[in-house]
Amino acid sequence: MNRINKKLQESQKLLSIYFTAGYPELEDTTTVIERLVESGVDMIEIGLPFSDPLADGPTIQESSTAALKNGMTTAKLFDQIKDIRKSVDIPLIVMGYFNPMLQYGVEKFCATCAEIGIDGLIMPDLPLAEYEEHYQATFEKYGLKMIFLITPQTSDERIRQIDAASDGFIYMVSSASTTGKTSGFSSVQTDYFERIAALKLKNPQIVGFGIKDEETFKAATQTAKGAIIGSAFIKTLTEKGIEGISGFIKSIRP
């Protein structure tokens, strides 16, 4: 069984952390992953930096720019994490944009992910129809879960199409803005969370965007299976470095 599916069967609410590979320093990637595992997170999204990150807020954009300047590439990331399964057993997901994947070669990218032990991919700019027509067979060949995003503006019909095409979890974006901008959840967002819960989808939902502390983690997981933290974690890395990881995770889920 894919590690994502196995983790989703556990009873607790899941905490997933996003970080940018190659940040703060180029060779920090595996150390960040291992510290997160030691701190008790349930899943990790490894951000593959890209020069034009449309869905990312300023904090993640700045970390991507820094990582690219540090020398991070797709090939470099794969080389850094080629032995990661010797020390890490939780689900690992690569989150990035489709252009670098296309440049690397979709089949080669998927094959390398499978060889290393990556469990899923999040590509916000790969449309559902294009995925199903051209790439779904390749992803499935290598046992990779494609994680799709939905927003408050996504219609129920579209959400059900995404649910039907998915076999993992649905990334539930808490707002229509870029990451890192919200300061809490409004009634509009909580109504959205309840609307999605009422659809009774076959795939669990994990909420991202705007989760930054224990309060927002609890609010996001009232109706969802888990929550993803990105910008707030990147800020901690920027301000406190790798030594700040354990304290940050404990502040979210004491």
Question: pLDDT tens-digit profile of 76-133?
Answer: 999 999 999 999 999 999 999 999 999 999 999 999 999 999 999 999 999 999 999 9
Structure tokens at 58: 């300023």
Q: Which two tokens stand for residue 171?
A: 């990334």
**Is a pLDDT exceeding 90 seen at residue 24?**
yes
| Backbone φ and ψ of 215, nearest 5° | -65, -50
**What is the predicted pLDDT for the residue at 180?**
46
Taking the C-alpha atoms of residue 113 and residue 90, their distance in angstroms, rounded to an integer, is 15
Is it the case that residue 45 has pLDDT exceeding 70? yes
Q: What is the model's pLDDT at position 56? A: 60
pLDDT of residue 183: 53
Query: Which of 185, 179, 224, 219 lies closest to 55 in space, CA to CA?
Result: 179
Q: Residue 53's pLDDT is what?
A: 56
Return the closest-CA partner of residue 120 out of 141, 85, 91: 91
When comparing pLDDT for 204 and 175, which is higher?
Answer: 204
Per residue in 47-82, pLDDT (tens digit) is 999 876 555 678 888 899 999 999 999 999 999 999
In this structure, are residues 22 and 29 in contact, taking their beta carbons and an 8 Å threshold?
yes
Which residue of the set 28, 42, 56, 119 is catalytic? 56
pLDDT, position 191: 85
What pLDDT is recorded for position 177? 47
Q: For the segment 184-232, what is each residue's pLDDT rounded down to a tens digit?
A: 677 788 788 889 999 999 999 999 988 999 999 998 999 999 999 999 9
Helix (H) or strand (E) holding 166: none
Cα separation, 82 vs 22, whole angstroms: 15
Domain ranges for the chain? 14-252
Cα angle, residue 195 at apex, residues 190 and 197 outer, rounded to 5°: 95
Burial of 191: CB neighbours in 10 Å, binned 0-12, 13-18, 19+: exposed
Contact by Cβ (8 Å): 229, 18: yes
Q: What does the pLDDT read at residue 172?
A: 95
Q: Is the pLDDT of residue 37 over 90?
A: yes
- In order of 76, 77, 150, the CA distances from 26 in angstroms are 9, 9, 32
- Edge-to-edge strand order for the sheet containing 43-47? 145-146, 120-122, 92-95, 43-47, 14-20, 226-229, 205-208, 170-173, 149-150
Q: Of residues 10, 25, 34, 45, which has the active-site annotation?
A: 45
For 14-252, which CATH superfamily applies? Aldolase class I (3.20.20.70)
Among 13-27, 181-195, 230-244, the minimum mean pLDDT is found in: 181-195
Mean pLDDT throughout 44-48?
97
- Which of 4-18, 32-46, 63-77, 165-179 comes out lowest in average pLDDT? 165-179
Question: Exposed, middle or buried, 125 (CB in 10 Å: 0-12/13-18/19+)?
Answer: middle
Strand partners, 16: 43, 228
Q: Does the annotation mark 56 as catalytic?
A: yes
Tokens of 96: 């990035």
Grade residue 178 by pLDDT with cuts at 50, 70 and 90.
very low
